[in-house]
Amino acid sequence: MTKALLSNRGIEFDAMDVANDPAAVAALKELGITSVPAVVVGERWMTGWNPTRLAQLVGFAYRERAAPPEELIGSIGQIVDSAIRAVGQVPDSEWESMWPGRDRPLRELARHLFEVVERGVDADVLSAFPADQWLRNHDAPGLASAALLVRYGQAVQAKFAAWYVAPLDPTAFDRSIDADVGPRTLTQVLERTRLHAGQHLRQIYALLEKAGVQPEAPLTDADLRRLGLELPVDVF
């Protein structure tokens, strides 16, 4: 998401591959940075997803769009629906294949997508969003089939739908959540949720197509942009 925001505004940057380059990890640690995404400008830096703070650090104009609650919740629901369909199409023989660019199997990508949405509910319940905890790899080897991953997705879907029941109270979305990047409104936390989940949905589509499977009724990039997502050029 950070790279997408910078790229879409024509801002050049050097990307560091912390997943595969020990020197990159060491360079960040020298600055006192222990989590990613991280952006470094000279001696100044930030971590986590906070587009307003990123704009201030890098030096470009940006105004976060506050999507109406109905739009925000509805679009996350569409992403989860689509993810459940896509995950159900993945051949079970593919779940142990590696997530491109990451030392994680595909089943962890699918599980993580649903967890992202579940944590959006938990943030509202607990008034806390420690994203640095769930962004780490928490592999669940037992979720090794489409049927089990779909069940997990459906459980998250039910939890999300049960919590965000219409009519929604707009004032509840303005309250402060203690996030990993500092205080954020619930709207901003859920915006991060849908951006993150939407990008992982794109990745699952790409992996399906690589396996020769046509995604069923997919959300296209144009659909995702209409939902308000600012998408990176690269899927991975």
User: Which of 205, 214, 12, 212 has the alpha carbon at shortest distance from 113?
Assistant: 205
Find out whether 143 and 149 touch, Cβ atoms under 8 Å: yes
What pLDDT sits at residue 219? 96
Instruction: Summarize the confidence of residues 196-222 as an average pLDDT.
Output: 93
- pLDDT surpasses 80 at 31: no
Instruction: CATH 1.20.120.450 in the chain: give the residue spans.
Output: 69-226
What pLDDT sits at residue 104? 83
Class of domain 69-226: mainly alpha
Higher pLDDT, 31 or 220: 220
Find out whether 83 and 153 touch, Cβ atoms under 8 Å: yes
Rounded CA-CA distance 165/163 in Å is 6
Residue pLDDT, tens place only, 211-228: 899 999 999 999 998 887
Q: Which helix (H) or strand (E) element contains residue 45?
A: strand 44-47
What pLDDT sits at residue 7? 67
User: What's the mean pLDDT when you consider all of the chain?
Assistant: 86
Residue pLDDT, tens place only, 87-115: 999 999 999 988 777 778 999 999 999 99
Residue pLDDT, tens place only, 129-188: 987 776 666 788 899 999 999 999 999 999 999 999 999 999 999 999 999 888 999 999
Locate tokens 């739908």: which residue? 161
Cα 93 to the chain's mean position, in Å? 25
pTM: 0.82
